[in-house]
Amino acid sequence: MIVIRQLCRRFSEGAGVHRVLDGANASFPAGEVAAIVGRSGSGKSTLLNLVSGIDRPDSGEVEIGGRIVTSMGEPERTLFRRAHLGFVYQFFNLIPTLDVEENVRLPLELNGIRGAAARRRSAAILADMGLADRLHSAVDRLSGGEQQRVAIARALAHEPPVVLADEPTGNLDEETASQVLRLLLALTRSRRTTLIVVTHDPSLARSADRVLELRDGKLVAGDAGTARAHARRTGMS
């Protein structure tokens, strides 16, 4: 489903150059849950931005479903991302002027699913997330855990083959994070969705099918212990 080949991304820093990604390679089969761990500033969020086509690499390529995302122009990347990817962020990124159901319905409408069909699908996935009674609530009236469940529902509503999550439990207390994690994994696995999640959370890393560590610009095999060590260093454990 996803192949990363020799991905490089560099940023200028004063008179020098910082190599965030330096020949990173990996492949992610359909339906896999993969956790990406690494120290703060190692380039994990940059990697997600490159996989999604939000940013472009200096060299290398990203292939999703047989299509080379990195060779697309910006309009094509935008349309591809809209149809084929879902996103979950640490800080939810919900639209405050829309209620819960409208937030979830938005990606459906952007993909041409409108009216009663869109309302049925958004209501159904919100029910799966335990939010059937909050459809028309203002999102700023929800708890952090409820807002993240809305964000997950929004990411999955249009049934993308790939979901990218950047610290999805990083802004939640331990108990709420555990509940949100169970729902995220249950829904992605039931749909055979490929989930790539950046995390410092050892419990999330333990729940993944595979852990990769971003180290010195490359992706190498890791484990939940690696996530635990990075969490201690960053004060997240």
The answer to whether residue 110 is domain-embedded is no
pLDDT at site 228: 53
Q: In which band, very low, low, confident or very high, does the pLDDT at 44 lie, cut at 50, 70 and 90?
A: very high
Q: How many structural domains is the chain composed of?
A: 1
Pick from 106, 101, 94, 142: which is nearest to 124 by CA? 101
The answer to whether residue 139 is domain-embedded is no
Q: Pull the structure tokens for residue 20.
A: 């965030």
The tens digit of pLDDT for each residue in 151-170 reads: 999 999 999 999 999 988 88
* CATH number for position 75: 3.40.50.300
Q: What is the DSSP string of 162-208?
A: EEEEESTTTTS-HHHHHHHHHHHHHHHHHTT-EEEEE---HHHHHHS
The tens digit of pLDDT for each residue in 97-129 reads: 999 999 999 999 999 999 999 999 999 999 999
pLDDT at site 237: 47
Question: What integer best gives the mean pLDDT of the chain?
Answer: 90
Strand stretches in the chain, DSSP E: 2-13, 16-28, 33-37, 59-64, 67-68, 85-89, 162-166, 194-198, 210-215, 218-221
pLDDT over 80 (residue 93): yes
Range of the domain at 14: 2-95+144-233
The answer to whether residue 166 is domain-embedded is yes
The amino acid that residue 80 corresponds to is F
Distance CA 27, CA 5 (A): 9
Q: In which band, very low, low, confident or very high, does the pLDDT at 177 lie, cut at 50, 70 and 90?
A: confident
The answer to whether residue 229 is domain-embedded is yes
The answer to whether residue 130 is domain-embedded is no
The answer to whether residue 82 is domain-embedded is yes
The answer to whether residue 191 is domain-embedded is yes
pLDDT at site 226: 55
Alpha helices, DSSP H, located in 5-69? 44-52
Pick from 222, 233, 219: which is nearest to 2 by CA? 219
The answer to whether residue 109 is domain-embedded is no
pLDDT over 90 (residue 202): no
Q: Which of 47-56, 138-147, 200-209 has the lowest mean pLDDT?
A: 200-209
